[in-house]
Structure 1
Amino acid sequence: MDRKKAEADLRKYYTVFLQLGLIVALAIFILAVKVDLTSEAPDEYTLDEQDVVEMEEVIQTEQIETPPPPPRPPVPVEVPNDEIIEDVNIDINSDWDLDDRMEMPPPPQEEEEPEENFFVVVEEMPELIGGLASIQKNIEYPEMARRAGIEGRVYVQFIVNEQGEVEDPRVIRGIGGGADEEALRAVRQAKFRPGMQRGRPVRVQYSLPVVFRLQN
């Protein structure tokens, strides 16, 4: 075999190439560090001006109260001119002395209420002659009350005088249908023995019932 030439043997240049490579790499690294990659800041910052808000002054309105209209004047009433007004003569007595004592009018007299001229309770009360049967037998049943089916008691109050007669009868509790009027008619015909007080006949207030009952 033929031996290589000395120029073709690269082993002896190995260290040289290695040092050159390191130098180039170091130069590139230094350049990379030296270069400033940050972007440049703008010279001036422009800020948008804010819109200016103008506040309008609010004026408070005043409410004006209008006065009410004046009342209407009264309508004049025509008066006839031919009406004559009579003169009134006032008689003034010049002789009247103020030092005289005036007489006061008399006080009003109170009307005395009439005293009751009858008794309510006496020693001997009036006695109905014949009892209630004497009144019941004189009763004529009213046709209106019969048709309406009205039954009951009618209470009549009256005065028994000194002669045993009935005065001023009146119904204090009725049932209607014509029964009240019939009870008054029957009581007026009744006769009593008068009431006695201290041995003499007196007027006595009395009341009794009148029965109205339909027969089936």
Structure 2
Amino acid sequence: NIATFVTLLLFIILFWTVKVEVKAYKPKHEIEVMTEEVQTEVEQMQEEIPLPKPKLPVQVEEAEEGEEAQEDLSMLEEMQTADFDEFVPPPPEAESVYDFIAVEIKPQVIKRVEPEYPEVARRAGIEGNVYVLIIVDENGDVIDAQVVKSSNPIFDSAAVAAVRKWKFRPGYQRDKPVKVRVMQPIFFRLTK
């Protein structure tokens, strides 16, 4: 106890008597800052004024009154004989496929068919995941399905075959059913 007290007393006395002064750092060499003014000349480009194009004289032949009337009459007859029923409108623009995020109402699965577990994978005890990109049309039918990512290719065909049988409530954009691209994960798990 006494040793602790004496040690503590010595530390207090040393703390009061010894003063440590800390001075700011001064570099050995003084740093000089030099500024230099640089003058640059800017050339002004003169814009070329385009010259007006020369006008070519056009010769106009004056037709006689009877000649002009004949041309008008023949044009009128051509218009009357033209068959407008044969007019075929241009094909409609290809409908765009919207991404799942871009639609107001997203497609929802109504009928889900579970994929058939491949027998080879079942015997080998293999589990996996397949990510399928599905295009759902305006009626909610799957019109295309492609594997985007797969943990094992053995599951790909089973996943795509099952997804093609699914039925969706279609996605809507501006109160109108539209084609939508949807990413769907399919999980293959062994149950015990």
Normalised by the shorter chain, which TM-score bucket? 0.3 to 0.5
Higher helix share: 2
TM-score (norm 2): 0.47
Higher strand share: 2
Larger Rg: 1 or 2?
A: 1
TM-score (norm 1): 0.42
